[in-house]
């Protein structure tokens, strides 16, 4: 191998990236992979979205979006222009200059990382590796995944990092449904296995985002993402525990937090809620704990935050029981109308949603539970299939308690507190609206 050849691979790919002629394949077309694919397609690249889910691929090729961050019209336009297509056929990877991996990284039942999707996707890429390819892992994962797990899979195929293989980690930071910060607005962190790997991956992302932070290794980039989510998880836990303290002291945690947030420096407000959900905040910190445990260290903040956050569904049920009790009713036999099944406002994602556990707890105590959620038409909880009801005046007035678990913007909170017999509001969605104290209980 000569230095001259090294320059050839990097220069060739560098040129194709700059000219937007590099062919991209993005594995995993979910909340992360699809908006990313679309952003590159909009920038003029030819992008193929690869996914194992045939239904999703068929839907996407019909121009129907599966994420709140992309309209059907925008997707259809990119398909018409020949800049995006979806497929289940991994053979496209052999023709791709760049492959980005955005597959799930959930937990096993034991709460250990389930890295099988990453391994599955990387196997598909590495068995089709051709010299000069850039491969980027975006899935959130434990530190050293890129170097300890992915790199050897390529090396076993004869690839040499920094020479004919460019391998990097760049965490995705998208917040699905957030209209202020979309893929193109969020800076990227990039850490390659070698300096050349970092340089090429950073050059790629500079085509779609204004700011790219290059870091010294994939490990730093992997840890940056985990630290972001640990920070959020721990601060939500603090807000949740603070809400329990404020309740004992007879004040509203929200009012205190809002007051503290007027300090223009050194403070960032986090608010209490019914528990944490989604694919990231409850899951990612445990990837870090797992890795540290292998290194003989037990992270304490993560464990405590996890314990507090996971206790919130029980607390919400207690609040509901107390509120009903004050109205001389009991939970057993009560009609509870849950507002919001998704784990956060404005989206239909129910993964790890605390609402699921709360519904199960309520049912277990004898409540009759129905729900409304404009983003979640149906759901199966504990083997029971549920269909969303409409939040009509009749439905709201008929419930013994309306339990707000997700503060979707579509709900008419003013009307709800006007006509509901009892509202338990775990999101402070009714904050600022006047209501008799014994009819609206806030977390």
Ligand X SMILES: NC(=O)c1ccc[n+]([C@@H]2O[C@H](COP(=O)([O-])OP(=O)(O)OC[C@H]3O[C@@H](n4cnc5c(N)ncnc54)[C@H](O)[C@@H]3O)[C@@H](O)[C@H]2O)c1
Answer yes or no whether residue 376 interacts with ligand X by CB under 6 A. no
Task: Write the interaction track for ligand X spanning residues 176-215; mark x where CB under 6 A is met and - where it is not.
Answer: x---------------------------------------
Query: How many angstroms separate the CA atoms of 46 and 85, rounded?
Result: 9
Cβ atoms of residues 17 and 54 within 8 Å: no
Concatenating the DSSP letter of every residue in 9-61 gives HHHHHHHHHHTT--EEEEE--STTHHHHHHHHHHTT-EEEEE-S-HHHHHHHH
Strands 46-50 and 188-192: unpaired
- Binding segment for ligand X (CB under 6 A), chosen from 37-45, 75-83, 117-125, 335-343, is 117-125
d(CA 64, CA 76): 7
In angstroms, give the least distance from the CB of 132 to ligand X.
Answer: 22
Residue nearest to ligand X according to CB distances in the complex: 30
102, 197, 280, 401: which is the annotated catalytic residue? 280
Contact residue for ligand X among 6, 23, 53, 132 (CB under 6 A): 53
- Which CB contacts under 8 angstroms, 24+ apart, belong to 397-400? 397/421, 398/335, 398/337, 399/335, 399/336, 399/337, 399/370, 400/324, 400/329, 400/334, 400/335, 400/336
Cα angle 124, 126, 129 (rounded to 5 degrees) comes to 110
From residue 71 to residue 110, the character string flagging contacts with ligand X as x (rule: CB under 6 A) and all else as - is -------------------------------xxxx-----
Per DSSP bridges, beta strands 212-215 and 84-87 are unpaired
Q: Which stretch binds ligand X (CB under 6 A): 24-32, 331-339, 411-419, 434-442?
A: 24-32
Residues in the chain: 443
Minimum distance of ligand X from residue 266's CB (angstroms): 27
> Taking CB under 6 A as the rule, does residue 315 contact ligand X?
no
**By the rule CB under 6 A, 60 interacts with ligand X:** no
Are β-strands 368-372 and 423-425 bridged in parallel, bridged antiparallel, or unpaired? unpaired
129 near ligand X (CB under 6 A): no
Distances (CA, A) of 285 to 142, 190, 232, 395, 424: 9, 20, 10, 39, 30
352 sits near ligand X (criterion: CB under 6 A): no
Asked if 59 is part of the footprint of ligand X (rule: CB under 6 A), the reply reads no
Which lies closer to ligand X via its Cβ, residue 53 or residue 112?
Answer: 53
Interface with ligand X includes 150 (CB under 6 A)? no
When asked if residue 143 is in the footprint of ligand X (CB under 6 A), the reply is: no
Among 25, 26, 51, 154, binds ligand X (CB under 6 A): 51
Question: By CB under 6 A, which span of 52-60, 178-186, 234-242, 296-304 interacts with ligand X?
Answer: 52-60
Residues 268-307 that bind ligand X (CB under 6 A): 279-280
Task: Provide the total of helices (H) and of strands (E) in the chain, helices listed first.
Answer: 14, 15
52 is a contact residue toward ligand X (CB under 6 A)? yes
Asked if residue 145 binds ligand X (CB under 6 A), the reply is: no
Query: Is 139 among the residues that bind ligand X (CB under 6 A)?
Result: yes
Spatial contact of 254 and 433, defined as CB atoms under 8 Å apart: no
Is 280 a residue of the active site?
yes
- Do residues 383 and 409 lie in contact, with contact meaning Cβ atoms separated by under 8 Å? no
Residue 77 burial (10 A CB sphere; 0-12, 13-18, 19+)? middle
Number of residues that bind ligand X (CB under 6 A): 27
By CB under 6 A, tell whether 226 contacts ligand X.
no
Instruction: Please enumerate in sequence order all residues whose Cβ is within 8 A of that of 73, keeping only pairs 6 or more positions apart, or say none.
Output: none
For residue 353, state whether it binds ligand X (rule: CB under 6 A). Answer: no
Among 16, 33, 170, 233, binds ligand X (CB under 6 A): 33
Chain centroid to Cα 348, Å, comes to 12
Q: Which residues contact 7 (CB under 8 A, 6 or more apart)?
A: none
Q: Is residue 218 within the footprint of ligand X (CB under 6 A)? A: no
Q: Which of 148, 163, 66, 76 is nearest to 115 (CA)?
A: 148
Q: By CB under 6 A, name the one of 47, 153, 174, 319 that touches ligand X.
A: 174
Minimum distance from residue 57 beta carbon to ligand X (Å): 9
Q: Which of 27, 37, 215, 403 binds ligand X (CB under 6 A)?
A: 27
347 binds ligand X per the rule CB under 6 A:
no
Q: State the nearest-atom distance from the C-beta of 270 to ligand X, in Å.
A: 17
| Interface positions with ligand X (CB under 6 A) | 27-33, 50-53, 56, 102-105, 117, 120-121, 139-140, 172-174, 176, 279-280
């Amino acid at each position: 191998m000569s230095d001259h050849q090294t320059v050839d691979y990097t220069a060739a790919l560098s040129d194709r990236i700059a000219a937007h002629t590099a062919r991209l394949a993005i594995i995993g077309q979910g909340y992360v992979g699809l908006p990313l694919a679309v952003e590159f397609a909009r920038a003029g690249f030819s992008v193929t979205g690869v996914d194992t889910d045939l239904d999703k691929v068929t839907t996407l090729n019909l121009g129907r979006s599966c994420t709140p961050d992309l309209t059907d019209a925008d997707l259809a336009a990119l398909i018409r222009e020949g800049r995006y297509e979806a497929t289940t056929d991994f053979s496209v990877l052999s023709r791709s200059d760049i492959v980005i991996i955005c597959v799930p990284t959930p937990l096993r039942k034991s709460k250990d990382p389930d890295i099988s999707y990453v391994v599955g996707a990387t196997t598909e890429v590495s068995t089709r590796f051709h010299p000069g390819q850039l491969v980027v892992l975006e899935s959130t994962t434990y530190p050293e995944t890129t170097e300890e797990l992915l790199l050897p899979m390529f090396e076993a195929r004869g690839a040499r990092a920094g020479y004919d293989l460019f391998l990097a980690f760049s965490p995705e930071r998208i917040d699905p449904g957030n209209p202020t910060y979309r893929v193109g607005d969020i800076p990227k962190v990039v850490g390659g296995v070698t300096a050349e790997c970092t340089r090429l991956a950073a050059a790629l992302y500079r085509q779609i985002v204004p700011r790219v932070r290059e870091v010294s290794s994939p490990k730093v980039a992997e840890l940056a993402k985990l630290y972001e989510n640990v920070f959020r998880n721990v601060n939500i836990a603090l807000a949740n525990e603070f809400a329990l303290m404020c309740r004992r002291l007879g004040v509203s945690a929200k009012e205190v937090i809002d007051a503290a947030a007027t300090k223009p420096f050194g403070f960032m407000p986090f608010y209490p809620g019914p528990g944490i959900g989604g694919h990231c905040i409850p899951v990612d910190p445990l990837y870090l704990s797992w890795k540290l445990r292998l290194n003989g260290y037990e992270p304490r903040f993560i464990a405590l935050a996890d314990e507090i956050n996971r206790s919130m569904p029980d607390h919400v049920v207690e609040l509901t029981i107390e509120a009903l009790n004050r109205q001389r009713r009991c939970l057993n036999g009560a009609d509870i109308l849950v507002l919001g099944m998704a784990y956060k406002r404005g989206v239909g994602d129910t993964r790890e949603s605390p609402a699921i556990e709360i519904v199960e707890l309520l049912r277990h105590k004898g409540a009759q539970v129905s729900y409304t959620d404009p983003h979640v038409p149906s759901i199966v909880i504990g083997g029971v299939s549920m269909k969303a009801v409409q939040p009509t005046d009749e439905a709201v007035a008929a419930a013994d308690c309306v339990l707000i678990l997700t503060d979707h913007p579509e709900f008419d909170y003013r009307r709800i507190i006007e006509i509901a017999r009892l509202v338990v509001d775990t999101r402070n969605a009714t904050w600022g609206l006047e209501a008799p104290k014994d009819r609206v209980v806030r977390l």
